[in-house]
Amino acid sequence: MAGETHTPTITSPANQRIVEARKLRQRKYRQAAALFLVEGLQLLHMALDSDAVPAEVFYCQEQFAGAEAAALLGRFGQLGADLISVSPRVMATLSEREEPQGIAATFHMPAANLTSLELSGRELVLVLDRLQDPGNLGTLIRTADAVAAAAVILVEPCVDPFDPKTVRGSMGSLFNLPIISARDVTGLFAWLKAGGLRPVGADPHLGETWGAGLWRGGVALVLGNEARGLSADVAAQIHAWAKLPIIGRAESLNVAVAGGVLMYAWLRENQIRHVHRA
């Protein structure tokens, strides 16, 4: 198989390659290595479908169930990835699943940035202001992918999009659209406006219910931190606001739920017709 190393199966969790892979659970090591670890057969297939670049692939054939894992390993081999056989004990230390599926792989982090993103002025871009929960971020990335948003922009400091919980929550959508970090708030909004996008902020008390009249054309939908909402420096850049009605006794909506509703409000208003992705 192309890419296979034919080295002996690694049986010790103390092996240096295994130790380095496990370190990728921590953000500082992910950033230093520019790598992140992914497991789950569906996620790995989606990564390859999106041309993500694999580095190392750890596999345990004893844990393969059916033909899917073997087929996935074959895809990695065809790409020339470094295939590393490991024992069930070692795979258990790499996996966060109760029942590992037999494959985990490291990928190079994509190098997306604002200058690499071309806008026509008709897109939706999701801007997330200093989110802290990886599950929320993963869900928002998944929904942004579903409505064919052009990008997700993270105002730093923000939860790591390559955190394992974020990757799982995105259900593979992390690989389908640019995820861009930004620290210069003023520069970010100047760039969005120059690209023809109108910033619309989500707030439980401000603006138009359902965002009525705000969604036609290119929009940058801006969502705030789970606990504090939008930061003052971000809010100062926004002049149009959308809110969702709460008619029950709930105090507020989860940011991922609110963001999903508003993204679909934009999609409905613009009547985007994309070819269905099989």
Q: What is the pLDDT of residue 277?
A: 41
The sign of the CA dihedral 74, 79, 85, 90 is: negative
pLDDT in tens, 30-56: 999 999 999 999 999 999 999 888 999
Per-residue pLDDT, averaged over 164-191, amounts to 94
pLDDT in tens, 212-248: 999 999 999 999 988 888 999 999 999 999 999 999 9
Q: What is the pLDDT of residue 6?
A: 54
* Cα–Cα distance, 168 to 23 (Å, whole number): 18
Q: Right CATH number for 114-270 from 3.40.1280.10, 3.20.20.70, 3.40.50.10490, 3.60.20.10?
A: 3.40.1280.10
**Domain layout of the chain by residue ranges:** 16-108, 114-270
Do 103 and 73 form a contact (C-beta atoms < 8 A)? yes
User: What is the assigned CATH class of domain 16-108?
Assistant: alpha beta
Banded pLDDT at 272 (limits 50, 70, 90): low
The answer to whether 16-108 and 114-270 have equal CATH topology is no
pLDDT at 254 over 60: yes
Which one, of 95, 87, 110, lies nearest residue 15 by Cα?
Answer: 87
